[in-house]
Amino acid sequence: MVKELTTDNKPEIIYPDSDGKPMSDNTKQFRWIVTIKENLEMLFAKIPDVFVAGDLLWYPVEGNNKTRIAPDAMVVFGRPKGDRGSYKQWEEENIAPQVVFEILSPGNTPKEMRKKLQSYDDYGVEEYYVYDPDRINFTGYIRVGETLRTIEEVDGWVSPRLGIRFQITPETLEIYRPDGRKFLTPVELDQAREEERQRAEQERQRAEQAEQRTEQERQRAEQAEQRTEQERQRAEQAEQRAEQERQRAEQAEQQLAQQERQLADRLAELLRERGIDPNEIL
């Protein structure tokens, strides 16, 4: 690679975005790296000044492109989200990653891991976690004063910076968010989303059925109310007919009484015409 000259006629230092090494040595290591990085991104998705990255070269010292570290996952508080080719600390307000993760593979040597621990110690990392998925071996370090110290009781440990909890089981390491939700692989996340979608659909269908039942009950109540109103109207009409019959009967009785009076008056008149006193007859 040809180095360009600066205005001071000094070679410009190139900070490569890749160290030429693969992100992982096997599928298990890769799955763990992706799981931790993606879950951390989701955990801090709504906080704009928390930067999360995986397998990103970190250059802690300006002017030194040989000193570089590539944590499997790292979290930087106080720096904005966004794409970066590498993390040049002097361009990031000189803020070092506060939390880093390493996932071991058979290719990692004790010497290499001691060197990484020393680098993280030297350059200000506050929390450092190492997981060996083959041996189910989890180790954590926390900064005490100026030095990273081993966390003695790491099972059940809650990260001061991240708020996540680590739980070691005979089969694996489990990581839990502050709200109690477990870190899931992308496949498990997709399955969980699908299950949630199905539950939501079932809830929607149940709500729709409940709404239909409510509507049916409303219609039945409305029909019952209509029947009650019809019965009331029929009863009112029957009462009106009965009143009309009573009035007709009363009128007929009055007419009959009037006719009887008229007949009696006529008879009395005839008797008087014949010289007979009607009162004597009655």
Output the domain CATH number for residue 120: 3.90.1570.10
β-sheet bridge partners, residue 53 = 74
The answer to whether 30 and 54 are in contact (CB under 8 A) is no
CA atoms within 13 A on the CB side of 33: 22
- pLDDT score, position 133: 96
Q: Are residues 117 and 144 in the same domain?
A: yes
Say whether both 88 and 175 belong to one domain.
yes
Rg over alpha carbons for the chain, rounded to the nearest Å, is 48
Is residue 14 assigned to a domain? Answer: no
pLDDT at residue 280, as a whole number: 77
Q: Across the chain, which distance is largest between two alpha carbons, in Å?
A: 167
Q: In this predicted structure, what is the pLDDT of residue 17?
A: 86
CA 242 to chain centre: 68
The confidence score (pLDDT) of residue 28 equals 92
- Give yes or no: residues 134 and 120 share one domain: yes
Among residues 142, 163, 183, which one ends one of the domains?
183
- Containing structural domain, residue 114: 27-183
Domain shared by 142 and 243, yes or no: no
- Is residue 178 located within the same domain as residue 189? no
Are 41 and 131 in a shared domain? yes
- Residue 8 has a pLDDT of 56
Structure tokens at 149: 């110290």
pLDDT for position 264: 80
Question: In the prediction, which pLDDT does 265 show?
Answer: 81
Task: Note whether 71 and 83 are same-domain residues.
Answer: yes
- The answer to whether residue 282 is domain-embedded is no
Task: Note whether 146 and 215 are same-domain residues.
Answer: no
Q: Does residue 176 form part of some domain?
A: yes
pLDDT score at 23:
65
> Are 179 and 99 within one domain?
yes
Question: For the chain, which ranges sit under pLDDT 70?
Answer: 1-10, 23, 282
Q: Domain count of the chain?
A: 2
Task: Note the helical H segments in the chain.
Answer: 27-43, 110-122, 186-273, 278-281
Order of all β-strands in the sheet with 137-144: 50-53, 73-77, 99-103, 127-132, 137-144, 147-150
131 and 193 together in one domain = no
Residue 6 has what pLDDT?
A: 47
Q: Give the list of residues 6+ apart from residue 163 with CB closer than 8 angstroms, or none.
A: 177, 178
Distance, CA of 235 to CA of 238 (rounded, Å): 5
